[in-house]
Structure formats: structure tokens, C-alpha cells
């Protein structure tokens, strides 16, 4: 039985900051950003947007491609940006998408790898329950301390995927190469809102893990690297994916997969699936029946190399014009406003900011996050 990605959509903020602007105010060389890390812009998230609101927007679009959303009986929310150590962020998505009550919901965490873990769990679940569909949501907003090397890689996005049998976008293949090792290359203690990292160690371990997982994948699958038509890499910044590609595969489709990421910044768990969407949206030729490899890496660390076969007719399930328009319609944020938002000195929740989707964080009351539809009586 074929199982894989049947529907996929993404969302990001209505606001962005040009890295030229950041370089100017940080008295830095823009070439370090554009050439050194391969980034052009970063999405900026005002107080009324968080991992839940953008996840709801992405999920609304993904679920719209289903004949019946009541087929969803498992929702897995992958994130490393959770604001609650107890309640799943997926519960809010479940509520606002009005999914049935007979549905399991939980979060997964392992740095940027968690969405891939969710995808593999979803695949196994559907194989055991062929009538079921699984909603996998990856949503992260990345924040670093100002004047650090991580600052120009900030950003965020949410990707929602429906995993089902006879998928209309991508069939997941059974073999993987996996590598887990205890390493302190990136971490965020619960008492900090910004991540801490060892950049050189992280890059070294990323590339080392790629070699190990690719070798194990090829051994398990009995394939050659030439059997892969293209590869999507986890891209915390685009230059990282380019380094990986140069080291292993050198596929001609790489730049197509990095278009969206270069404009929205790092989206952690969603990153590799943003690359998939960017590849499918921005490659004019038909990729149907081609084998695509995936390298997923989560600091700390867990890495996996796996593959899938792109479905014939996959383009009918895409919305490239809508995705490009969403990015083009973002508003440029003045630097002073960016600093206010990221320092937390702007209003906790303000109606002056627009939301990308139908739901906004309207207030935090008694430590409870209160979300509301922007339009009363909204029905998804």
C-alpha cells in the first residue's frame, strides 16, 4: 500500500525585514548575509502571531484539499517553539479547524527533526489504519539574541501535511538512514526565549550526519546515489543546504528548493518541507515519478535520510501562485519596529498588526492565551 503526503500547504507572517536593512543598522557587510549564509529576508512575527496562528492558516489550506476532514483522526504538532510545557499546541489547531473529537492530538519535540519524526509516525499509523488520515503540522518561529551570528537567520513558518494512502503528492519509501548522537550544538533551556548554539560544531555535525545517514540509506535501500533525481535538505540558512549539496549530490534542482527559505528565514521543523514546497512550486518541468531524497537534521542531535516518489499529477494539488502572492504581499517592517517586536517592548497584543490567517492571538489573561477568529462566526 502506498502511503505519503496527500496535501501540503504553508504559512508565514505578514511582515518581513530585509537583511540589507539589518546589515546597515548592525554596521555589518550585507555580503555576509547574502553570500555568506544565502539569505535575503526574514519573516517578522508581531505579538498577535505565533506558532498556533500560522499553523491554523497552513492547516486550513491543506485540509481544504480533502473530501472530508472527518477522516483525520490523528494530529501531530511538531515544534521547538512551544510556549506551554504541558498543553499541546495542536489542541488549538484541532479546535479552530473544527476537527472531530474522536481524534488523538499531541506535540513532538526534537529540534528541527521533529516534523520528520511526525511524518514517519504518520506513515506507520496509516499503514495500520488505511481509512485514516493524519494531519502533521510543523510550526516554528526562530528568535536569537541581537548582534549574534544567528540574528540574520531568524524567521519562521508553518507547514501542514495530510498523510494518507494513495497520496497525490509524494509516496514515502520504506528505507531510511538514521544517526543519533548526544552533542551540544544547539539548545534552548526552558528559562530562555532565545536559542543558544555552537555554530561551528553544528555545521560540522550536520555534514557528518549527512554522510552517515546517506550511506546507511543507500545500504538499506540497495540504491545508488544516481537513483536520486533531487534532494531536499534541512536549510536553517540556504548556504547550509548548498554546502550539503556540494558534498554529496550536486543536484540541478537545489536552487528551486531554496527560493522560499531565502525570503522567510529559518523555520526549524518546517524548513525541509518548505524546501519541498519551493521545489515543487518553482520547478517548471514535470517531476512526476521522480525520486526525491530528504536529509532531515535536528541539533542535539538526530538526523535521517529518506526518500519518496513524486506522484503523477502532483501539480493539481499545488497552489504556487497563492504561495508566491503570500510572500509578495508581506509588508516591510521598519528596523525600529523590528527591534521593538523582537525585544518584547511592543504592545503584548496589538490590533495595529495584520494576521496572515483567520485567527489571532488577542490577549494573554491569567497566563492563558486567548485566540479568536478575526471574523465573527467564522466557519472553516
**Tens of pLDDT, residues 37-50:** 999 999 999 999 99
pLDDT at position 234 over 90: yes
- The mean pLDDT of 48-65, rounded to a whole number, is 97
| pLDDT at residue 188, rounded to an integer | 87
Q: Vertex 38, ends 83 and 254: CA angle to 5°?
A: 95
pLDDT at position 378 over 80: no
- Work out the pLDDT band at 126, boundaries 50, 70, 90: very high
The residue range of the domain holding 217 is 173-314
Angle, helices 199-221 vs 238-248, to 10°: value is 40
User: Are 44 and 166 found together in one domain?
Assistant: yes
* CATH code of 31's domain: 3.40.47.10
pLDDT tens digits for range 173-195: 999 999 999 999 998 898 887 88
| pLDDT at residue 193, rounded to an integer | 78
Per DSSP, 310 falls in state E
User: Are 201 and 344 found together in one domain?
Assistant: no
Would you say residue 240 lies in a domain? yes
pTM: 0.96
Would you say residue 65 lies in a domain? yes
| pLDDT at residue 125, rounded to an integer | 98
pLDDT tens digits for range 326-354: 999 999 999 999 998 877 655 566 668 99
- The mean pLDDT of 210-233, rounded to a whole number, is 97
| pLDDT at residue 348, rounded to an integer | 60
| pLDDT at residue 64, rounded to an integer | 96
Identify which of 313, 312, 274 has the alpha carbon closest to the alpha carbon of residue 294: 274
Domain count, the chain: 2
User: Are 77 and 226 found together in one domain?
Assistant: no
- Residues 327-362 as b/e (b if ≥16 CB within 10 A, e otherwise) read beebeebeeebbebbbeeebeebeeebbbbbbbbbe
Length of the chain: 380
pLDDT tens digits for range 301-327: 999 999 999 999 999 999 999 999 999
What residues are labeled active site?
80, 112, 234
pLDDT tens digits for range 150-175: 999 999 999 999 999 999 999 999 99
Would you say residue 181 lies in a domain? yes
pLDDT at position 379 over 60: no
User: Are 153 and 200 found together in one domain?
Assistant: no
Amino acid at each position: 500500500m502506498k502511503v505519503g503526503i496527500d496535501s501540503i500547504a504553508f504559512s508565514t507572517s505578514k511582515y518581513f525585514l530585509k537583511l540589507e536593512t539589518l546589515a546597515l543598522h548592525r554596521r555589518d557587510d550585507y555580503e555576509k548575509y547574502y553570500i555568506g549564509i544565502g539569505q535575503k529576508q526574514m519573516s517578522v512575527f508581531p505579538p498577535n502571531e505565533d506558532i498556533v496562528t500560522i499553523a491554523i492558516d497552513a492547516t486550513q489550506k491543506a485540509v481544504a484539499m480533502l473530501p472530508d476532514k472527518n477522516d483525520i483522526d490523528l494530529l501531530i504538532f511538531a515544534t521547538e517553539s512551544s510556549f506551554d510545557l504541558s498543553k499541546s499546541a495542536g489542541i488549538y489547531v484541532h479546535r479552530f479547524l473544527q476537527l472531530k473529537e474522536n481524534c488523538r492530538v499531541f506535540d513532538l519535540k526534537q529540534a528541527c527533526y521533529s516534523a520528520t519524526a511526525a511524518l514517519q509516525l504518520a506513515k506507520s499509523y496509516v499503514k495500520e489504519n488505511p481509512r485514516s488520515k493524519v494531519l502533521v503540522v510543523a510550526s516554528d518561529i526562530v528568535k536569537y539574541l541581537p548582534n549574534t551570528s544567528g540574528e540574520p537567520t531568524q524567521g519562521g513558518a508553518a507547514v501542514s501535511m495530510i498523510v494518507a494512502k494513495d497520496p497525490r503528492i509524494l509516496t514515502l519509501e520504506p528505507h531510511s538512514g538514521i544517526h543519533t548522537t548526544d552533542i551540544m550544538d544547539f539548545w534552548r533551556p526552558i528559562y530562555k526565549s532565545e536559542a543558544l548554539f555552537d555554530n561551528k560544531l553544528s555545521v560540522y555535525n550536520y555534514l557528518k550526519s549527512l554522510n552517515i545517514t546517506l550511506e546507511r540509506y543507500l545500504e538499506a535501500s540497495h540504491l545508488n546515489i544516481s537513483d536520486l533525481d533531487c534532494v531536499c535538505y534541512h536549510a536553517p540558512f540556504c548556504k547550509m543546504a548548498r554546502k550539503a549539496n556540494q558534498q554529496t549530490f550536486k543536484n540541478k534542482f537545489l536552487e528551486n528548493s531554496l527560493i522560499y527559505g531565502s525570503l522567510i528565514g529559518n523555520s526549524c521543523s518546517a524548513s525541509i518541507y518548505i524546501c519541498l514546497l519551493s521545489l515543487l512550486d518553482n520547478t517548471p518541468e514535470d517531476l512526476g515519478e521522480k525520486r526525491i531524497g530528504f536529509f532531515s537534521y535536528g541539533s542535539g542531535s538526530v538526523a535521517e535520510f529518506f526518500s519518496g516518489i513524486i506522484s503523477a499529477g502532483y501539480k493539481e494539488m499545488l497552489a504556487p501562485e497563492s504561495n508566491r502572492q503570500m510572500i509578495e504581499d508581506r509588508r516591510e517592517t521598519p528596523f525600529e519596529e523590528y527591534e521593538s517586536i523582537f525585544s518584547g517592548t511592543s504592545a503584548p497584543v496589538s490590533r495595529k498588526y495584520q494576521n496572515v490567517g483567520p485567527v489571532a492571538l488577542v490577549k494573554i489573561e491569567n497566563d492563558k492565551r486567548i485566540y479568536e477568529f478575526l471574523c465573527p462566526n467564522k466557519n472553516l
